Structure 1
Amino acid sequence: MKAIGFKTSLPIKDAGSFIEFEIEKPKPNGKDLLVKIEAISVNPVDYKIRQNSFKDKVQDKPKIIGWDATGIVEEVGNEAELFKKGDKVFYAGDITRPGSNQEYQLVDERIVGFAPKNISTEESAAMPLTSLTAYEILFDRLRLSKEKDAGKSILIIGGAGGVGSVAIQLAKKLLDLKVIATASREETEDWCKNLGADFVVNHKNLVEEVKNAEFKEVDFILDFVDVNEYWDAFVQLIKPQGKIGSISDPTEPVNLKQLKGKSVSFHWELMFTRAMFQTEDMIRQHEILNIISKLLDDGTLKSTLNKTIKGFSVENLKEAHALLESGKTIGKVVLKF
């Protein structure tokens, strides 16, 4: 079967940044599913790992990345109970295993959901990683609920990005929060408003912009961009006893002591944690993806697909990575096999 990977970390324009090769189709054991992939999407984690995995060295065996896919179950392991051959599924996978940039992939059924039925394969493939991340940070990390939090305010940094685009919708539709999203271009502002943001502010003057939107402070903050860059603003803007959640990778220490006076809590979210550590509640991702699937099917959520590239090839995967590296993408980029 065909796979695309890399043996060394190179700029995306370099001829060797991705290579195509053939490998044997794997066999599922235990709780694994063998999935014939129909579409994948690209996330920032993809290019970050490609850029940093093998600096100044060359591997004998290519590394296969990619953490979003929609496909059909081809075969199930001897301990699999949730799916059967022929089921259409979607998932984000496990960062410790070969990714979705191949024709067939093994994935643990506990982190797989039934794909939505009422939207296209491409629209479905855009959603798993970002939906899991947004859902987990809101409901599993910050532990928000409509019953106790409706009407409170939430500031979302990076509203037009993949995770932000889902978080806006979940915060508005499921939690009934007052949503403030950051964006700095007309097209990203429109994107955020169309997804349900009540206010859109420019991240370049964050404190001033939020206060101009008539919020002295906010109850919750979600950082999907850079916790170091905005930390001082977060300290100013968060309400006493508020909550801050982040998915970004700090390059410098974060001074949590600055939150003590307000008794503010800080929460990390990494979508891969459950699969990486085989946590007792690993099946929670199966449950979340099934919730997301139903929300997409009934129209509560909109897919954040914004660009489809047809054909699984080195050239097309390079194009997708280049788009994400530009920092100008809105929503998600999907490759249709």
Structure 2
Amino acid sequence: MTTTTMRAIASYRGLPVDNPESLQDVEVPRPTLRPRDILVRVQAVSVNPADVKSRIALEPSADPRILGFDAAGVVEAVGPEVTTLSVGDEVWYAGDATRAGANADLHAVDERITARKPASLSFAEAAAMPLTTITAWETLFERFGLTAGSTGTLLALGGAGGVGSIMIQLAKELTALRVLASATRPESQKWVRQLGADGIVDHHRLAESAGEVAPEGLDYLFSPHSHGNIEAFARIVRPFGHITAIDEPAGLDLLPLKPKSIAWHWELMFTRTMYRTDDMSEQGKLLETVAGLVDGKRIRTTLTTTVDDFSATGMREAHRLVESGRTTGKVVVAR
């Protein structure tokens, strides 16, 4: 007999990760499917900086809030209008910030932002990738408008992080760019070189280091850390270059970029689901494309740490690791 409830990991208010109440094991109703939803039996989730920000920012509530974006699992049921996936399919996806998250036994997600996971990856290896892959893909091919024939120099700041780790690979495989990455610790530098970075920049001395590695200047720059860096960006990016940022620093002043006519782009991979855009299915399509690249051995998982404890205790440990700011690649919580 099908039960009407399920286990989940939830928060009632924003608390420090060391507080046992910051993430708790709870019993909640099973999700109700919308017409185009699939119901996924979740096998693994990854923790992103976005998860940490969401947890910390929670206002007090009497109702549990289930967090979690990236997930991989098995389709257990489908809505009446689902056409692309079937019960039993193994899937991966990055979720929807407007709905309950994936840190649960079961998760309802729209089929249009979901795809079959790479067959060659475990659930943990797959769960590490969707959110950062979508962010990197949309940055490269939608914000920057790159193609297979695009040339020039790209710098991915935070190269050893989740987005940087997949952006390096996508840019090397699918464009003709020279790809640079910022990394300072020896383990981070080793990681980005293994992923294909052509050169390394020290973000603690950004303008000087980038000038040494790319004296001709940068054509494209990806920034997860824009605060205090705009003057340096203006120095190292070439005239008519492009910058895409994913952070939201208060009081950001972009005027130093104007003399070079440098274009500034924002990237938020949740925009399509937040606004239910007509092209929501593009996210599912790009995940399908990347699954083919993974199974073709052209792209590798960015998983580096697995917490084998799908409970509040395991989730707090994963959040603690991500909050430390010293992880390379991705942290995953698996069953």
TM-score band, normalised by the shorter chain? over 0.9
* 2:334 counterpart (326, 333, 336): 336
1:59 matched residue in structure 2: 61
Alignment pair present for 1:12 and 2:17: yes
Structure 2: how far apart are the matches of 1:53 and 1:17?
10
TM-score, normalising length: structure 2:
0.96
Partner Cα distance (2:177, 2:27) in 1: 49
Distance 1:214 1:269 in 2: 25
In the alignment, what sits opposite 1:245? 244
Equivalent position of 2:30 in the other structure: 25
- Deviation at 1:86? 0.7
The answer to whether the 8 Å contact 1:42/1:66 transfers is yes
Counterpart contact for 1:94–1:276, Cα < 8 Å:
yes
Question: In the alignment, what sits opposite 2:147?
Answer: 145
Q: Is the 8 A contact 1:228 1:254 kept in 2?
A: no
Which of 30, 44, 67 is the aligned partner of 1:39? 44
**Counterparts of 1:28 and 1:78 in 2: how far apart (Å)?**
9
Q: Partner residue of 1:133?
A: 135
CA distance in 1, matches of 2:44, 2:55: 20
Deviation at 1:265, TM superposition (A): 1.0
Alignment check: 8 A CA contact 1:29 1:76 kept: no
Contact 1:38 1:70 in 2 (8 A): yes
Rounded Cα–Cα distance in structure 2 between residues aligned with 1:324 and 1:5: 18
Where does 1:78-157 land on structure 2 (aligned, <5 Å)? 78-147=80-149, 149-150=150-151, 152-157=152-157
What is the total number of aligned residue pairs between the two structures?
330
SS of the residue 1:267 aligns to: strand
| Aligned counterpart, 1:232 | 231
User: SS in structure 2 opposite 1:228?
Assistant: coil
CA distance in structure 2 between the aligned counterparts of 1:4 and 1:36, rounded to whole angstroms? 14
Distance of 2:148 and 2:215 partners within structure 1: 20
Are the equivalent residues in 1 in contact too, given 2:230–2:256 (CA < 8 A)? no
Q: Indicate the residue corresponding to 2:297 in structure 1.
A: 299
> Residues of 1 paired with 2:214 and 2:281: CA distance?
41
- Note the C-alpha offset of 1:211: 1.6
Alignment CA distance shift 1:105-1:214 (3 Å): closer
Contact 2:78 2:87 in 1 (8 A): yes
Q: What RMSD over aligned residues (CA atoms) do the two structures have, in Å? A: 1.0
1:251 Cα offset (Å): 2.0
Give yes or no for contact 1:133–1:269 (8 Å, CA) kept in 2. Answer: yes
Letter matched to residue 106 of structure 1? A
* Distance across 2 between alignment mates of 1:277 and 1:315: 34
1:146 aligns to what SS in structure 2? coil
Alpha-carbon displacement from aligned partner over 1:197-246 (angstroms, at most 9, x marks no partner): 0001110111111122242311111102x112221111111111111111
Q: Aligned residue for 2:3? A: none
Give the Cα separation in 1 of the matches to 2:114 and 2:277.
Answer: 15
TM-score normalised according to structure 1 size:
0.96
Deviations 1:70-99 (A, max 9, x none): 011111111111111111100000001000
Tell me the amino acid that sits aligned with residue 175 of structure 2.
Answer: L
Specify the alignment match of 1:187 in structure 2: 187
Gaps of 5+ in 2: 1-5
User: Percent identity of the aligned residues?
Assistant: 42
Residue in 2 aligned with 1:262?
A: 260
1:23 counterpart SS class:
strand
8 A Cα contact 1:304 1:332, kept in partner? yes
Amino acid paired to 2:183: A
Query: Alignment partner for residue 323 of structure 1, among 321, 324, 328?
Result: 321
Please list, as runs of the form range in 1=range in 2, the aligned pairs for 1:212-223 lying within 5 A after superposition. Answer: 212-223=212-223
